[in-house]
Chains A and B, each alone.
Chain A
């Protein structure tokens, strides 16, 4: 579904991402781990066609993110780290706007379906600025899946959410993956969330990919470490 080959992004002399080679299988939930400033958001920005790579290549569903960017955009959904949407518009109006931009057919039916899936129908006609952070995040997810993307990119989806909101978000992602078969690529630094949601993980540090494999395989590779946290620090420290 997603393949990168020696993908890189430089800002002048500074390498934000370097030689990133990665494969994400269709139907998997991939957790991209790394501390703040490791290069996670830069990677997701290149994969979602928001910025251009300075080296290497990446493709989604066989389409190059640079050459076929419009095709890639019609296949992906994206939720940035902190998004407020249009506060003066209702949830339905926001979704209608983003749905139209994505060229969604049968828009009203799709909106109903998505809101039902996210258990949000009772709030759909209230202005977004009156929502809590958790509710806004739900509508954020709704705009990202409205056009039934094959792959969903999430940048720190549980950032700033309370425990209830975090659990709800986790349940939504698992439901999407199970019911719609959506591949999910999520940036996070919350290791506890990764173990509960992800099937595969990648660890990035200082712009370089340190490890990428299925969660089960990684656990087998590090039998002495009791948790993903211990594995993460072992890999991080080992590379320093």
Chain B
């Protein structure tokens, strides 16, 4: 265990000494903070506008007042779903793309492998180190954003909302970790770090942009038939094809679950957190399964002689 811990600590230290990684990470943190600030300010403006209207109607002695807009506090934080989905994945790729191939080229992997440690401990150490960096990063974002959200919006989440938020960050951790694991596998199997990085960027673009757009284009083929008026109207909605395409995109799945958890979907906004998890169990499996398969493959690939 001490070997694993030593390797993990080195990974953390090396990550926070890498200037490019620090820049991408800084960008991720700053963007998420800006998004919370904008979300909170927009919600405040919306509430002020509503109060102004109520005030005006009251001064005109109106018979009825419009209902207050429903406020789901976590929806203010919803932009973070996209940032985790896009930049968070890139942070994880950047963290892992040289983890094996870079060390192999520098000769340090052989220096580790002649120590009394097993190869699966090397993989575990790297996973633990990468996981610690991702976890630390998300914890910082959670604390900063929550504090900013409470200060700017003047709202504070209740127990259920807090539970939703924590589950969302755990899910974000698993989503980013699955990118890290995939990158680790690619790094074990390729000698060329640049090639590994490019391959991961193609995978990232495919599952984050191409597949969701394909699913979207399929949604546009959904039509509603109005039998009374004898008309056919285009009504974008989920189809069997769009849902099937989304299965292959953990990014789309993550966005769907994230929107549920962060109260973007009004129908599920007041449900308990366990009910939301239950509802999205299929999507959760689709997010976690590729990472688990690649985790297994990484351990196997590290045993090969050419891994060093």
- Which residues of A approach B to under 8 Å, CB–CB? 48-52, 70-71, 73-74, 76, 78, 80-89, 93, 97-98, 100-103, 143
Given the known interface contacts A52-B305, A86-B10, the answer about A101 and B117 at a Cβ–Cβ threshold of 8 Å is yes
Determine if B110 and A50 form an interchain contact, defined as CB atoms under 8 angstroms apart: yes
CB distance from A199 to the nearest CB of B (A): 24
Given the known interface contacts A73-B116, A88-B18, the answer about A51 and B305 at a Cβ–Cβ threshold of 8 Å is yes
Given the known interface contacts A89-B14, A97-B6, the answer about A103 and B108 at a Cβ–Cβ threshold of 8 Å is no
Given the known interface contacts A50-B113, A74-B116, A88-B18, the answer about A101 and B108 at a Cβ–Cβ threshold of 8 Å is no
Residue of A74, A82, A88 near B14 (CB, 8 A) is A88
Determine if A73 and B115 form an interchain contact, defined as CB atoms under 8 angstroms apart: yes
Q: Which residues of B contact A50 (CB under 8 A)?
A: 110, 113-114, 305, 308
User: Which residues of B96-147 have CB atoms within 8 Å of chain A's CB atoms?
Assistant: 106-108, 110-118
Q: Does B17 contact A (CB under 8 A)?
A: yes
Residue of A76, A78, A101 near B110 (CB, 8 A) is A78
A80 to B, closest residue via Cβ: B107
16 contacts between A and B (CB under 8 A): A49-B113, A51-B305, A73-B114, A73-B115, A80-B107, A82-B107, A83-B106, A83-B111, A84-B108, A89-B13, A98-B115, A100-B2, A100-B6, A101-B3, A102-B115, A103-B2
Q: Does B7 contact A (CB under 8 A)?
A: yes
| Distance in angstroms between the alpha carbons of A81 and B305 in the assembled complex | 18
Chain B interface category by residue count:
20 to 34
CB distance from B23 to the nearest CB of A (A): 15
Task: Tell me the dominant secondary structure on chain A's binding face.
Answer: loop
CB distance from B199 to the nearest CB of A (A): 24
Q: Which residues of A contact B115 (CB under 8 A)?
A: 73, 98, 101-102
9 new A-B contacts, CB < 8 A, other than A73-B115, A76-B114, are A50-B110, A70-B116, A83-B111, A85-B106, A85-B108, A88-B17, A97-B6, A98-B111, A100-B6
Q: Which residues of B contact A52 (CB under 8 A)?
A: 305
Q: Which residues of B contact A97 (CB under 8 A)?
A: 6, 10
B308 to A, closest residue via Cβ: A50
Q: Which residues of B contact A86 (CB under 8 A)?
A: 10, 14, 106, 108
Q: Which residues of B contact A83 (CB under 8 A)?
A: 106-108, 110-111
Given the known interface contacts A74-B116, A83-B106, A101-B7, the answer about A89 and B111 at a Cβ–Cβ threshold of 8 Å is no
A49 to B, closest residue via Cβ: B114
| Distance in angstroms between the alpha carbons of A85 and B114 in the assembled complex | 14
| Distance in angstroms between the alpha carbons of A74 and B114 in the assembled complex | 8
Q: Which residues of A contact B107 (CB under 8 A)?
A: 80-84
CB distance from A152 to the nearest CB of B (A): 11
Determine if A84 and B106 form an interchain contact, defined as CB atoms under 8 angstroms apart: yes
Q: Which residues of A contact B108 (CB under 8 A)?
A: 83-86
Determine if A78 and B111 form an interchain contact, defined as CB atoms under 8 angstroms apart: yes
CB distance from A96 to the nearest CB of B (A): 9
Q: Which residues of B contact A102 (CB under 8 A)?
A: 115-116
Of B13, B14, B108, B115, most A-chain CB atoms within 10 Å: B115
| Distance in angstroms between the alpha carbons of A98 and B3 in the assembled complex | 10
Q: Which residues of A contact B106 (CB under 8 A)?
A: 83-87
| Distance in angstroms between the alpha carbons of A85 and B107 in the assembled complex | 7
Determine if A101 and B112 form an interchain contact, defined as CB atoms under 8 angstroms apart: yes
| Distance in angstroms between the alpha carbons of A100 and B18 in the assembled complex | 23
Q: Mark B191-229, 1 if CB is under 8 A from A, else 0.
A: 000000000000000000000000000000000000000
Determine if B305 and A80 form an interchain contact, defined as CB atoms under 8 angstroms apart: no
| Distance in angstroms between the alpha carbons of A100 and B308 in the assembled complex | 20
| Distance in angstroms between the alpha carbons of A101 and B305 in the assembled complex | 21
